[in-house]
């Protein structure tokens, strides 16, 4: 899969590294000089870094947006994210556009335009609401009109069926990808050779119909 990201901040940098580690091709468009240099030193050489404005069609073309499977705009400006996503969809025909939305009130506008809007404020509020009702598997955010979700599953401290095993060796359901682990106070990016430990909180991207199967594969329950 080829992914183009507009904006080179912490969200974009983490997303880019995670996608590259999962075997995907990634390009980032960033207009700030110092961030471009930082990305160049932090990201793998396979990442294509474009120094320019993601709201400009010329830079989108340089990034190869016309062949991208997904376009993500993650800047701190909702207007820029809206323009960049619309341009990628209308001018370049990107099948899927995702935008970071800083003001939750703008989510409806993005969704009406066919852009998947992700608001950290909404995520946090959903986490608070779902804590009392969903138990130990919590949907953090639904994507693609409810078909996909990011979920959180805590591994048991005793009789852990997957602990000590490498992620690549796990028999996970299809359409389920382990993204990161919360291990104590640390966030661990998941690689194929990452070994799970008792008490790890697994962050996974999954088809909502396979959430329970994923939980069973990781916890045995």
Residues 6+ apart with CB under 8 A from 48: 25, 26, 27, 28, 63, 64
Are residues 149 and 82 part of one domain? no
Per-10-residue mean pLDDT, the chain, length 221: 91 84 91 93 92 96 95 91 94 92 86 83 53 50 61 88 91 86 83 90 85 89 76
Are residues 34 and 66 part of one domain? yes
Are residues 51 and 12 part of one domain? yes
Q: Which own/partner contact pairs does 36-42 have at CB distance under 8 Å and 24+ positions apart?
A: 36/8, 38/8, 39/8, 39/13, 42/13, 42/17
Q: What is the pLDDT of residue 91?
A: 94
The torsion of the CA quartet 143, 149, 150, 153, rounded to 10 degrees, works out to: 170
Are residues 19 and 113 part of one domain? yes
> Sheet containing 201-207: which strands, arranged edge to edge?
137-143, 148-154, 201-207, 176-183, 186-189
Is the pTM higher than 0.85? The answer reads no
Q: What is the pLDDT of residue 132?
A: 41
For the chain, the domain total comes to 2
Are residues 183 and 88 part of one domain? no
Give per-residue pLDDT as tens, 137-167: 555 555 545 567 778 888 988 889 999 999 8
Q: What is the pLDDT of residue 140?
A: 58
Are residues 114 and 100 part of one domain? yes
The encoded tokens of residue 23 equal 């075997």
Are residues 144 and 106 part of one domain? no
Of 60, 92, 118, the last residue of a domain is 118
The encoded tokens of residue 92 equal 């370049």
Are residues 182 and 78 part of one domain? no
Euclidean distance between CA atoms 111 and 70, whole angstroms: 16
Write out the residue range of the structural domain in which residue 35 sits.
Answer: 2-118
Give per-residue pLDDT as tens, 178-196: 888 888 877 888 888 899 9
Letter string b/e over residues 200-213, b meaning 16 or more CB atoms within 10 A of that residue's CB: bebbbbbbbebbeb
Closest alpha carbon to 201 in 220, 168, 221, 178 = 178
Are residues 127 and 112 part of one domain? no
Q: Which domain CATH number covers 46?
A: 3.40.50.720
Of 118, 146, 162, the last residue of a domain is 118
Closest alpha carbon to 136 in 35, 192, 218 = 218
Q: What is the pLDDT of residue 149?
A: 76
Are residues 77 and 185 part of one domain? no
Query: What are the beta bridge partners of residue 188?
Result: 181
Are residues 99 and 8 part of one domain? yes
Euclidean distance between CA atoms 105 and 91, whole angstroms: 26
Euclidean distance between CA atoms 84 and 28, whole angstroms: 13
Q: What are phi and psi of 59, to 5 degrees?
A: -75, -30
Euclidean distance between CA atoms 124 and 24, whole angstroms: 28
Are residues 109 and 13 part of one domain? yes
Of 72, 99, 118, the last residue of a domain is 118
């Amino acid at each position: 899969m080829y992914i183009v990201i507009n904006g080179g901040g912490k969200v974009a940098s983490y997303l880019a590294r995670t996608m590259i580690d999962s075997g995907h091709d990634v390009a980032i468009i960033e207009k700030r000089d110092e961030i471009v240099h930082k990305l160049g030193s932090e990201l793998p050489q396979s990442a294509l870094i474009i120094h320019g404005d993601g709201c400009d069609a010329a830079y989108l073309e340089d990034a190869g947006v016309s062949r991208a499977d997904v376009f993500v705009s993650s800047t701190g400006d909702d207007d820029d994210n809206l323009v960049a996503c619309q341009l990628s969809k209308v001018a370049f025909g990107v099948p899927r556009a995702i935008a970071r939305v800083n003001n939750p009130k703008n989510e409806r506008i993005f969704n009406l335009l066919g852009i998947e809007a992700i608001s950290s404020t909404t995520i946090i509020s959903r986490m608070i609401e779902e804590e009392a009702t969903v138990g130990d598997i919590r949907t953090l955010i639904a994507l693609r009109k409810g078909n996909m979700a990011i979920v959180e599953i805590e591994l048991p401290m005793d009789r852990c069926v997957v602990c000590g095993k490498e992620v690549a060796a796990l028999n996970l359901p299809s359409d389920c990808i382990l993204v990161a682990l919360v291990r104590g106070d640390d966030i661990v990016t998941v690689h194929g050779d990452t070994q799970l430990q008792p008490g790890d909180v697994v962050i996974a991207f999954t088809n909502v119909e396979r959430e329970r199967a994923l939980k069973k594969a990781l916890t045995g329950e």
